[in-house]
A and B are shown apart, each in its own frame.
Chain A
C-alpha cells in the first residue's frame, strides 16, 4: 500500500495504510525519499478535494492524513485554506484534528487564521464547559499577534467562569498570551492575582505555573494564598504539586528566618515591604532570642511530608528539595528513605536522583549513611549510573565504613567496564586523601593493583597524586614503581613514574640515574608525553647529581634536539639554556634548581558535586551545574522575618496563638497603638462591651476574628457571657470558634494592610491583658452548649453564603469543584446530612483531616494496636457477633462525637437480615449517630460500620439495642477514658502556658515507681498512647515527657506530664478543667506506667 510520499511508510510496512490511506490515493507512485515535490502537489490536490467534499468520512480521512504529515514533520501549510473551512465542523473528531492543524500553522498563515477566530469566539459562550475550555485552549494557542486583545478578553472572562476546568484553561492561556506579547504583563498579573484566590484544586497548579512564568518576583501575591496553597497541596494533581512546592520553597526562603543553627549566611535584606526602619532595628535587637519556627513555616513542612509517598518521582524530589532547603536540619533526614526508594526507578530517574544525593551527601553524610549499600554498583548499571554511585560512596566513606567500602571497590576494580574500573581507582585515591587512617592501606592497595595490567596506568596516576601529598615516607613505593617502568607501556603511567622519580630524585639517589640511563636507551621509541618527562628527569638529575648524569643528560638533550616533534625540540632548547651554563645563559640559569625543583602544590582530589548546592536541588541548573535560562535564584534566609501577618487571611487566631513572642505584632502595636481605634481596645478589654459592639458589626466586617467572635457570641447568648470567668483560656475551643467565625468574615480578603495592623494590635492587646475577649467567648461557648452551638453554626453558614456573594458575585452558583472544604478556615463540624454514602464520607473524612490538622491543630493519633472490645458475643447474639473499637479519628458525624467502628460477624449458616440499631437508652445529653441498616449479612460474612457517640465527656455507658430482622439484643458501650480525647499538637511553650493556667483544683498528680528501663522515652510514649489518645509534645528536657489532648465533647485541654525523678520514681501530673476525667485518666495511667 503506498500512498507514500511519506518516506516512513516504506519502513513501517503497510500498517499505517489501513489508517491513512483508505481513500485510494494510491494512484500516485512513490518516487523515492526525496524529490517528492511534484507528487506532493498532486497529492495535496487530492486532499483538498476530500476536504471540500460533503462527506464527513472523506474529510476525516483527509484530516487524518494531514495530521500524519504533521507528525512526520512534513510541510502541509498550503492546505491551510481548505482545512480552516472545517473549523466549524459538527464532527468532533474532524474539529479536533482541525484544531491540531490550526495550532501548528496559524503562525505561518496569520491572515487566513483570522477566519477561524469568530468560531472560537462563539464557542467561548457555549453552555458546555468542555467546548468553552477547548475553544479557549485553541484560541490562545494560535500565535497571531493581531488577536491579542481578543485573547485578553477571553482570558478575563474565562478566569471568572463557573467551571473550574475552564478557569484552569484560562491559567494556561495566561502563559501563552504572555509569550506572545509580554506587553500584556500587567493585565495578566491582575488575572493571576484573581486566579490565585481560586479555591479549586484543579486551578491551583496551573495558576502557580503562570505565576512562575509571568511574575515570579511578585511574591506579595502569594502571601494571602500561602496557607490555602499549603492546605490544598495534597489534593492538587501531581504535576501541579511539583510546581507549587518549588514556588513555596522560594517563598519560604524570603519570608521566614533560618531554622538552621549556624545561620551565618544571612544577608541584609530589603524585603520587608511592610516595616519601617525602626521596626527593623527593634527586631535585630530581639534576634538574640531562641529560634522558634513561624507556624506558617511549620505548616508547609508538615503538609508536604505525605507527598514523600507519592508515586511520582518528580513530586518526591520536589518535597526532598523543600526539606533540604527550608526544614530544620534535624528533620531533613526523612527524605533519604524516599529518595533511596526512587533508585529502583528508571535509568533516567536514577540519574537525576543520584546527582542530587551526591550533592546532599557531601554536606550531610549522616543522611545517607544508613543506606550505604543501596549505592553499591551492579554490573548491569549503565556507566553513568555507576560513576554517580561511586561518587556517593566516596562522599559517604568514613573511618567506620571505609574497610567495607574498600573491599567493595576491589570488586569494581576487576570490572570489565574499563572506564568504571578506572573511576574506581580515582575513587580509592580520593578516599585515601579524605580519610587519613586509610591512606597507607589505600596506597598499598593501589600498589598491589600495579600488577593488574588493566588498571595499572590509572593506579600509577593516582599513586602519583597521593605521593605528591606526602612524599616523605614513600621511598619504597617509588622504588617499586621505578621497577614497573620495565613492564608498563601506557604512556601516561610511564610519564607519571618518571615525573615522580624526578621530583623525588634526592630520595632515591641510586635508582634515579639508572632509570635515566634506561630511558636514554629507549628515548627514540617513547611516546611524546614520555619523552617530555625524560627531558624533565634529565634536567632535574643534572641539577642535583651532575656528576653521575651529566653525560646522560647531554645525550638525551641531543636526541631531543633532533626530534620530529616541535614541542620536544622546544623543550630541549629551553632546558639546555637553563641548566647548561654557558656564556649566553642569562640570569635565569642561576635559578634553574629553584625552577625545576620547586615545591609543587598537591592536586586537590575533590568531588565534582562540591558546591553544587548553590543551585536549588532538583532543578535543571543543578543537574547541568550551569545556570539555566529562567532559573530563579533561591534567596538567602532573611535575617529578620518580614511581617508574618501579611499571610493572615481570615484566621488571625492562628498567628496569634502560635507566634510565640508575637514579634512583629508587638512592634506594630508599639507603633500604632495610640493612633487608632481606642474603642477596639475597649472591646477587647471588657467583654460586656462587646454586646454593643455587635451592633456595628457590618462596619467591622474586616476586623479581627476575636472581635467577630465576641460579636457573634454576644448577640446570640449574651447572658452566658456574663458569668464568664476570666483568666482561663481554652485555646482549642477558641480556635474552633474563630474558624467558624472567620469563615463568615471571609471578606477580609479585601482588607488592606492597615487593617491587618489593627488586627494584630487587637490580638496583641488581648494577649497582654489577660482578660481577653476570646476567653469570654470560649467560655460562653462551652457553657451555652449545645443549643448555641447549632445556632451559631447555622448563622455562620448563612453569613458565609452572604459573604461569598459579596466577594465574588461570579461564583455564586457553587460550581462543581469549588471545594470549600479545602479552605483552611472551614469548620470541621458535622456534616448535616447523614445520608451520605460511606465512600463519600470517607472521602470527606480525609479532607477534613487535612484541614483540621493544620488549623484546629488536632494532630494525627499515634499508631497503636487497635484494642477490640466485645459488643455482642456470638452465643448471646444467636450467631451474630459484634466487636467494636475506637479508630481514634475525629468523628465524621459530629465534632463532639467519638467515632466507633463496629465489626459485625455472621457466625451462623444462614443470612442475617436487616441489622440495625433499635431502641437507645442514653443518659441525658448523650447523643448517638447510628449506622445505616445493613440489609443482609451472608453466612461467614463480616462487615464494618462506623458510628459516632457523643459521650458528653463522661465514661457513662451508652446502652442500645442491636437488632436483626428477628431479634433485639441489648448491648452497651462504655468508653475507656482515654478514648474521649483527641490528640493535640502544641509547642512546649504553649503547653507550659496552658499548664500554668490549669493549676489548683485542675491539677491531679501521683507518684509512680517503676524500674528504670520502663522510663525510656519510647516506653513511656507507647504506654501513654496505648491508654489515651493523646499527642506527644516536643520536650526540651530529657526527663520530662508531655502529652496533650482535648476532650472530644467540650474541647477542654487535657495535659499529661510525666516527670522522671531521682531513682526509679516519676511524677505523673494531669492538668485539665475536666477534673473528673482527669482523675480517672490518672487512675488508669498510674498502674500502666508502674508495671514492668
Chain B
C-alpha cells in the first residue's frame, strides 16, 4: 500500500522521509513539484498525481504537504484518510503540527510512523494505543529521561490493541473524574444579493473530553433524537443500540475525541413574527489605502452564539455504568458560522 512518505514544506524542501518498503528515491517528488508549479496555489495541487512508476497522493495541512508514494492500485481515500490521521496524531502528540515541531521531535515522529504502518498497511492509528506505545514528549518527561536515561517507548503491549474496545487504554486513573461534551453546530449557508437564502445546512459535532477512571460505560440520550438523521459515529458507539433506541451507548476513549457528527438540511427555527422579521445589518469598511474590491465580492461571515445549538438538539442525560464513582458531567452548546457566505 503506502510505500513512502515525504513531508514537504511550502518552499519545496523535503524535510522528512520515511519508507515502509524498499527505499524510493526522493527524486520522485520532482513530479510533485512540477504539479505544484502548475497549480499556482497550494490548495489547487491535485491530490493524486500519476508518475511513470508511482502515484503520489498528498494532503496539504498546516502549510505542509504530506506526500505518500504508492505503487499499485489502492482506494485513494484510504491513503488520504490515513494521511489526515497522521496529521491528527502529530497534532495530538505535539499540540501543533508544524515543520519546526516535527523537526524538533523527529525521533518521536519516526517511532510513531513506524507503529502506524507495517509494510504500508495501517497497524495502529488509534491515538490511545499509540500513546501507550510511544509516550508523547512533555517537558517533564524530557527532563526525567535525560537524567534517568529512561525512554519514551512503552514496553507493554498496548492492551487496547487486543481488547474488544481497541480505542481505550486500560488502567486509566483520575482523581477528578469528569466527562464534558460540546455540542457544536456550524451553519453553512449561501445568502444571495437580495438576502434570501439559497442554501443552508447545519454541520454538527459532539466533541467529548472524557477523563474517567477504569472502564466506564456511558449512555447519552437526547430530548429530541429524531433530529439526528444523518450521523456518523466514533467506532466506540454501539450502532445497534442507536438504531433501535436512539441512545448513544459507548465505552469512551480516554481523553478528547469526536463522538458524533451530524448533518442537517432543514431544521425548525420556531416562531417568527412576520410583521417584525429579524434582520441583521452590518457595514463594511475598507482599510485606508486598500485597493477597491472586485465588482461582486463574496463576504464570508463569522459569528458565534454561546449556549445554543441552533437545531434545537438537546442532550437529555448522561448515565454511567460499570464504575462506582460519581463523575462530574458537563455539556456545552455552541453555534458558529461555518462556511457562511453572502453574495453581493
Contact = CB atoms under 8 A, between A and B. Distances in A.
B44 interface: yes
B157 interface: yes
A839 B341 contact: no
A19 B233 CA distance: 38
Contacts of A861: 244
A843 B251 CA distance: 9
A379 B317 CA distance: 41
Given A317-B77, A383-B44, A414-B295, A311 B72 contact: no
A628 B72 CA distance: 7
A887 B245 contact: yes
A13 B100 contact: yes
A67 B44 contact: no
A817 interface: yes
A894 B24 CA distance: 58
B77 A349 contact: yes
B119 A309 contact: no
B59 A96 contact: no
B78 to A, nearest CB: 4
B81 A312 contact: yes
A842 B166 contact: no
Given A311-B233, A411-B192, A242 B72 contact: no
A60 interface: yes
Contacts of A878: none
A176 B73 contact: no
A348 B60 CA distance: 8
Nearest to A370: B265
Contacts of A668: none
Nearest to A66: B107
B263 A344 contact: yes
A311 B239 CA distance: 12
A165 B55 contact: no
Contact of A309 (B50, B103, B216, B233): B233
B15 interface: yes
A939 B243 CA distance: 32
A68 to B, nearest CB: 5
Contact of A165 (B50, B161, B297): B161
Nearest to B49: A624
B208 to A, nearest CB: 13
B198 interface: yes
Contacts of A338: 230, 232
A382 B341 contact: no
A238 B321 contact: no
A349 B71 contact: no
Contacts of A380: 298, 300, 339, 341
A373 B198 CA distance: 8
A158 to B, nearest CB: 13
Interface in B12-48: 13-19, 21-23, 26, 41, 43-44, 46-48
Given A239-B78, A341-B263, A179 B157 contact: no
A411 to B, nearest CB: 6
Contact of A620 (B76, B238, B317): B76
A73 B14 contact: yes
A430 B190 CA distance: 25
Interface residues of A, number: 126
Contact of A348 (B21, B47, B244): B47
B104 to A, nearest CB: 4
A823 to B, nearest CB: 15
B121 A239 contact: yes
A943 B319 contact: yes
A624 B19 CA distance: 24
B178 interface: no
A414 B294 CA distance: 10
Interface stretch (B110-118, B283-291, B307-315): B110-118
A19 B77 contact: no
A231 B17 CA distance: 39
B45 to A, nearest CB: 9
Interface string B187-203: 01010100000110101
Nearest to A164: B162
B122 A416 contact: no
B114 A376 contact: no
A817 B235 CA distance: 18
B43 A347 contact: yes
Given A91-B151, A352-B76, A843-B164, A313 B105 contact: no
B302 interface: no
A12 B21 CA distance: 28
Nearest to A371: B265
Given A376-B198, A411-B192, A73 B17 contact: yes
Given A175-B119, A239-B82, A346-B84, A374 B199 contact: yes
Given A620-B73, A632-B73, A16 B118 contact: no
Interface in B82-103: 82-84, 99-101, 103
B235 A311 contact: yes
Contacts of B100: 12-13, 15
Contact of A860 (B83, B142, B156, B243): B243
A130 interface: yes
A236 to B, nearest CB: 10
B231 interface: yes
Interface in B123-170: 123, 125, 142, 146, 149, 151-153, 155-157, 161-166
Contact of B119 (A172, A242, A311): A172
Contacts of B59: 346-348
Contacts of A849: 240
B332 interface: no
A348 B80 contact: yes
Contacts of A64: 107
Contacts of B335: none
A374 B46 contact: no
A553 to B, nearest CB: 43
B64 interface: no
A846 B190 contact: no
B24 to A, nearest CB: 11
B109 interface: yes
A629 B151 contact: no
A8 B107 CA distance: 15
Given A64-B107, A411-B343, 12 more contacts: A12-B99, A67-B106, A70-B110, A96-B111, A165-B162, A173-B119, A238-B125, A314-B77, A348-B47, A374-B199, A630-B72, A944-B219
21 contacts: A18-B104, A71-B17, A172-B121, A239-B121, A239-B122, A309-B231, A309-B232, A314-B81, A344-B263, A346-B80, A347-B59, A348-B47, A349-B77, A384-B46, A414-B295, A838-B217, A838-B322, A842-B321, A843-B251, A845-B241, A860-B243
Q: Closest 7 CB pairs between A and B?
A: A630-B72, A839-B217, A93-B151, A15-B104, A839-B322, A379-B298, A130-B157
